[in-house]
Structure 1
Amino acid sequence: MPSIRCCSSFALAAALAAPGLAAACSTCGCSLNSDWSSQGYATSLGWHLSLREDYFNQSQLRSGADSVSRSSFAYPADEEVQRKTINRNTLLGADYSFSRYWGLSLQLPYMDRHHQTIAEGDTGVSTSDARGIGDLRVLARYQGFSDDAGIGLQFGLKLPTGRFKQDFVSGPQAGELLDRGLQLGTGTTDALLGVYKFGYLTDSIGYFGQAMAQIALDAREHFRPGNSLNLNLGLRYLDAGRFTPQIQLNLHGEQRESGAQADRPNSGAVLAYLSPGIGVRITRRLDAFAFVQLPVYQHVNGLQLEPRRLWSLGLQYRL
């Protein structure tokens, strides 16, 4: 059982991998995770609620492991050249612990994404503004393998609740359908399967490790997202009073997407982020956190956009 002091800090990572996305978008979602169960915070019975805001500007054009200068292209070009994708995402979470060993969590994203690109054969910039709910994730867990509940399994589904038929709103491509990798949802039902371990190196230092796979169970209107795997490792320092300094290493790999509506050449990536942050205990039940994700390795297939940094702020509340 985690100590009272440990439970008063906020949870770091571990649950859900971002869906595989494409078309120079790579992972259009923050890979930082804030799942309470993977670090033992949701072992108390009842509800735990969370709210997280992510911001990241995908402005760096990359091919393989290298950045690409847009000045190297002459327009009209024989391939699409993305300009930028600005993401402002809200993640609503609810977790219910039925017992010390069984629980269920729901996570629903609301996405606000502004995208600019110069399509193949165009000389002008086309833009889109996608706003709305994304794909709902339902995840059960079991952590009865040890007396301290420090080892757990997670299993569930990503459901196709996000729209996937939004159009460009201006420029030469106005009225044309956005790339499927830039839509609010994939349109598919995906299986989620994960394992995690948390514990304490010393009285002052806690740790966690987690792996989560996401596997598309079907295709939808000629599109199937690439399967993905998230690996997360983290440490937190527990002897700083109301504050809990923490750091994560977030690793994400995804396969190419497939289907007639897929941009297979420009999808799939291997990404690594180092994510320092801090948690603050506001009241006995309420905690806040702030993180920045810094890329330490980015390798993409084809030509894709990646962010230089990602920001996350959030609140977590125990009912």
Structure 2
Amino acid sequence: MRKPSTHATMSVASSTSFPSSSRPLTIRLLAIVLLALAPLIVFVPSAANACACGCSVFDVGGGLLPQEDDHGGRVFTEWWHASQNRNWIGSSRGPADANNDKRVVTDWVTAGLQYMFNREWGISIRVPYVSRAFTTDTGAPPDGAGIQTFNSRSIGDIEIMGMYTGFSSDMSTGIIFGLKLPTGTFTAQGLDRDTQIGSGSTDLILGAFHRGMISGDNAWQYFTQVRWLQPFLYQSAYNADANAVLLYKPGYQIDGAAGVVYNNLYNVAGFDKIAPLLQIIVSHRQRDSGPAADPLNSGFDRIMISPGIEFTKVVDEVNKRVLKFYVDVEIPIFYRANAAINDNGSMGQLIAPYLIKTVASYNF
């Protein structure tokens, strides 16, 4: 009963620059994402919620990064959804009966706060609540009970991050750094360590972003972002199959994105601005390790294409009160999953045919 799998992440990428009449209130919400490249310092799966599914991919592309003239605070909420129901072996779909695990359905609802102290320094905190349903074949009676679904719901792994945006006057380039804390449960009954809501690890978060103009009139912009998660403190938990307390070490994960935004649709359908975008997201997840892990069936490389759109409504132009709503769909176009028959006779990783991400935010 083991399921190394994959999912996908979040952040809005368009900037908000209003026509000359609204220019004083320019609150461009930055950056979607960049193509993964470069090692930084190692990361694990997930921002605010860890899992071997690779959910940290939601943390790049379309996002909540600082913009030029973006001072003060922003509160936001995120909803991510993934239904992992396809068994993947290598670079192609494998037979469902090769994998004891059948389905993982997860919803993340995150509340967050970002605050920019000035044009150079800021901080953010994200607190997720996670609901997961894990369906697996426990084996025939009397030792097992056949195919069963186990549910787990709890606060996920909280993230606390700082950011520096002082490389340029328009805050177009920045770095992020912080920690993912082991606040999510990793002892839920019926779930393996790689399907628990929390990883049980403390992770270092490192990342960088950049945005720029493609056309001189600012109608077309590009963005890039990379994020690296590295677990460095691990925790053991009781394993019922082995009747022992075993250590689990999730593998690091690097996610990156790159995309373009059309930034010139003003006063449409009651919104002050609508910004469609198209991005490519790339992920590398290292194999898990430790006695509680399934290194043969964990770790992957993935490329996804993701169309998205952001809606902006100015509530109070003088005081820069702005509402934003962002949504995208992330669709794998390439997947390579490590897979081999393990001690339980299971092989493959469950992947999702698509991922959904939404973000709603309010600047104050």
Give the TM-score of the pair, scaled to structure 1. Answer: 0.86
Partner of 1:124: 146
TM-superposed CA distance for 1:143, in Å, is 1.5
SS in structure 1 at match of 2:18: helix
- Distance in 1, matches of 2:16 and 2:350, equals 43
Alignment partner, residue 356 of structure 2: 311
Match of 1:247, as an amino acid?
Answer: L
Residue of structure 1 aligned with 2:132, choices 76, 90, 113: 113
1 CA distance for matches of 2:83 and 2:56?
A: 11
Q: How does 1:1-319 map to 2 (within 5 A)?
A: 4-5=17-18, 7-8=26-27, 10-14=29-33, 18-19=45-46, 21-22=51-52, 26-28=53-55, 31=58, 33=60, 34-37=62-65, 40-41=66-67, 43-70=69-96, 73=98, 80-119=99-138, 124-168=146-190, 178-202=191-215, 203-221=218-236, 222-241=247-266, 242-284=273-315, 285-302=322-339, 303-319=348-364
Closer, same or farther in 2 for the Cα pair 1:315/1:11, shift >3 Å?
farther
- How far apart in 2 are the matches of 1:211 and 1:70? 33
Deviations 1:120-154 (A, max 9, x none): 67571021111111111111111112232222111
What is the aligned-residue identity percentage?
26
Give the aligned residue type for 2:362.
Y
SS in 1 for 2:354: strand
CA distance in 2, matches of 1:292, 1:217: 31
Look up the equivalent residue of 1:31 and give its one-letter code.
F
The aligned amino acid for 2:54 is T
Provide Cα deviations, 1:43-100, integer angstroms capped at 9, x if missing partner.
Answer: 52211111111122111111111101225x5xxxxxx521111111112221000110
Could you give the per-residue CA deviations for residues 217-239 of structure 1, whole angstroms, max 9, x where no partner exists?
Answer: 12211111101111111211011
Measure how far apart 1:269 and its partner are.
Answer: 0.8
1:36 deviation in Å? Answer: 2.3
**Contact 2:179 2:202 (8 Å CA) reproduced:** yes
SS at match of 1:145: coil
> Contact 2:28–2:68 at 8 Å: present in 1 too?
no
SS in 2 for 1:282: strand
Contiguous gaps of at least 5 residues in structure 2: 1-14, 20-25, 35-42, 237-246, 267-272, 316-321, 340-347
Deviation track 1:11-50 (CA, whole Å, cap 9, x = no partner) reads: 453599743743xxx324653534422xx43752211111
**In 1, are the aligned partners of 2:204 and 2:231 still within 8 Å (CA)?**
yes
Shift of 1:9: 5.5
Q: Is this contact kept in 1: 2:33–2:279, CA < 8 A?
A: no
* Cα RMSD for the two superposed structures: 2.3
Structure 1 pair 205–199 and aligned structure 2 pair: CA distance change class (3 A): same
What is the deviation of 1:308?
0.7
Would the alpha carbon gap of residues 120 and 28 (structure 1) be closer, same or farther in structure 2, given more than 3 Å must change? farther
TM superposition outliers: structure 1 runs of 4+ over 4 Å: 6-12, 14-17, 120-123
1: CA distance between counterparts of 2:112 and 2:307? Answer: 22
Structure 2: distance between partners of 1:185 and 1:194: 21
Structure 1, unaligned stretches of length 5 or more? 74-79, 169-177
Query: Is contact 2:33–2:281 with CA below 8 Å preserved after alignment?
Result: no
**Equivalences, count:** 297
Residues 311 and 93 from structure 1, CA distance in 2 versus in 1: closer, same or farther, beyond 3 angstroms? same
